[in-house]
Structure 1
Amino acid sequence: MNHRQHALFVLAIYCGIRRGELLGLKWSDIDFDNNRLGIRQILAFKSKIKDGAKTKTSNRSIKMSPFVASELKKHKEQQEEEKMKADEYFDKNLVFCQENGLPVSWGNFHKFWVRILEKTKVRAIRFHDLRHTCASLLLSAEVHPKKVQELLGHASIKVTLDTYSHLIPNMQEEVASKMDSY
């Protein structure tokens, strides 16, 4: 997909980052040398950047894969080009913003998301479902639930397990076979 916010979708699917966290992400939160990004603030209502994430554990550091880091670097280059072409640019250091540098509003983001789904002919899903896709893929690949919890910034592993335990493959078979071994 060739879209100016392509990296937004990559981060949502590969890192399970919430919409408000993505829209509050700043370039200063990204460490390309160590392939890490920090979730330290969110975009709140009325396009205000709010320090801190949803919960205490939502403030977190996420390791980026080389692919994710590469997509962010491309996005940064594209954003630098937009800055040079803009008549007026308000540099808020945001990774994902309007073409003039200002934060995206929640209402405009929703309209943007609906247009993307219609244009790509993808069935109607919530943007948050990309986060669920991330968790589902990781758990199906047998990544330990604790690691998934840390990536998603859930307050406890209970939240992760209550939400996704049905996706952990062969859980019932493993339980049955373990009991037979005694």
Structure 2
Amino acid sequence: MRKFLAKWWLQHWIYLCLGLGLLIFAIACTPIDRLSTPASLNSRYTDEQPALSGDGRYVAFISNRDGSRRLLLYDLQAQVLLPLPRLQDRPEAVAESPSISYTGRYIVCIINDQGRPSLVLYDRVTRQRQILSRWYQGWVRNPSISPDGRYIVVESSINGQWDIEVLDRGSRIELDIPDGVPIEGRKS
């Protein structure tokens, strides 16, 4: 009887250990939703190329927290990372050089997907991205967006050297202005 109990106990102990091991493995392999938990601005991963919104609330930056170079947006007031759905559709796409408008509505950056860098404008209100360099003949780098989101300056190689180009998004776009009052029209 003693041998039977010892054998039974050993078998159940092994099953218990295996079950616990599988549970721990499953928990360890489950991705953490980094957007629903408070986060710090810096991490144990590489966080670089910061851009601060004009109102000082948001920081756009590049991080390899998810195993690829992705653009992240951090809310300094709430101390959380904010979602940027549809900005980088493919995990292989590499983001760099972010620039952010006054209240953080518009973000412009370079996304390198399949070997060709694209100038991308992202609207956080509509959650849409627009590739601004789709039919562009040259290469682009180091974009910067104006506080109101209308103008974007970028370095361009269209003339065989690096030059600066100013892109005007037009007068019919929704500007990124706080309280509907343009910055130049505010009373100090």
TM-score for both structures, normalised by structure 1:
0.22
Q: Which has the higher strand share?
A: 2
Q: Which has the higher helix share?
A: 1
- Bigger-Rg structure (1/2): 2
Task: Indicate the structure whose relative CO is greater, using CA pairs within 8 Å and at least 6 residues apart.
Answer: 1
